[in-house]
Amino acid sequence: MTRLAIPKTYKLFIGGKFPRSESGRVFEIRSAKGEFLANAAKASRKDARDAVVAARAAGSGWAGATGYNRGQVLYRVAEVLEGRRDQFIAEIVSTEGVSAAAAAAQVDEAVDRWVWYAGWADKYVQVAGNANAVSGPFFNISVPEPTGVVAIVVPQDSSLLGITSAIAPALVSGNTVVVIASERFPLSSIGLAEVLATSDLPGGVVNILTGSPAEIAPWLASHADVNALDLIGAAGLDWIDLEIAAAETLQRVMRPEQGPDIASPSLTRITQFTETKTVWHTKSLI
């Protein structure tokens, strides 16, 4: 007896839950050979707005956690991802059409990047902050703090490594994110959403939208409650228009990156999502 295949329809990841798109739309995910793999939700403007609301609601709790605690949570993401290594390898092989060895290398690098950024969570402040020399009986200290809600267009030509490299550094300092997944390779982004949902990451800290970046990005760029726009994977879009739209609400904008070292691990990718707060304190005269 031949068993019928059960086609999957993957949903969005908003507020720690997996809702359908309010539009009811889906698009097909196909293999590198053109074979049908699954349906994925096609996010709308309303979905993007809901994701921003969820990210904002989760912001105070995540930013208020200690750096040590955030590091432990990010490390747990790496652990859960490592436990599903075979699944991600198979998905990358089918969607990108690469060899199993190349897919395994990508998964391993993604796990390593989660670990790398987790290690910085309780250390970056000591490197990026400083005690300033001032004249007078004062202490003057500069401390980096999270920017807030960061909207991210992830690299479109990479699956798991692309989304990992884009969102992990934003989380280190306590930002929350709304992510537009790769339209070309969305399967790993959906799988990562499942990893995040089963890790210790609080709901709403990461929100993942699948669908068309060209359709969703303008709404996030012009959204007044988004604090930063990372266009790392937006080189194929009209990103200058997105930058102009973001300027209307005073968003910080990171322009697209290209080349073989796109989104390589760096302290700069952590600090570009921070604001510097300077504190003055009177020295005791006793």
Q: What is the pLDDT of residue 95?
A: 94
Cβ atoms within 10 Å, residue 202? 17
Angle formed by the axes of helices 187-197 and 67-83, nearest 10°: 120
For residue 73, give every residue at least 6 positions away whose Cβ sits within 8 Å of its Cβ, in sequence order, or none.
Answer: 65, 118, 199, 200, 201
Q: What is the pLDDT of residue 60?
A: 97
Q: Which domains does the chain have, with CATH numbers?
A: 11-282 (3.40.605.10)
The CA distance from 248 to 181, in Å, is 25
Name the burial class of residue 61, with classes exposed (0-12), middle (13-18) and buried (19+) by CB atoms within 10 angstroms of its CB. middle
For residue 258, give every residue at least 6 positions away whose Cβ sits within 8 Å of its Cβ, in sequence order, or none.
Answer: 235
10-residue mean pLDDT series, the chain (286 residues) = 80 97 95 94 98 98 97 98 97 95 96 97 89 75 91 92 95 98 95 96 98 97 96 93 93 82 82 87 69
For residue 144, give every residue at least 6 positions away whose Cβ sits within 8 Å of its Cβ, in sequence order, or none.
Answer: 124, 125, 128, 129, 173, 271, 274, 275, 276, 277
Model-level pTM?
Answer: 0.92
Q: What is the pLDDT of residue 259?
A: 62
Q: Which structure tokens are listed for 74?
A: 């990010």
Q: What is the pLDDT of residue 136?
A: 76
Angle formed by the axes of helices 160-172 and 100-120, nearest 10°: 0
147, 274 in Cβ contact below 8 A?
yes
The torsion angle over the Cα atoms of residues 59, 63, 66 and 69, rounded to 10 degrees, is 40
The CA distance from 23 to 102, in Å, is 36
Q: How many residues does the chain have?
A: 286
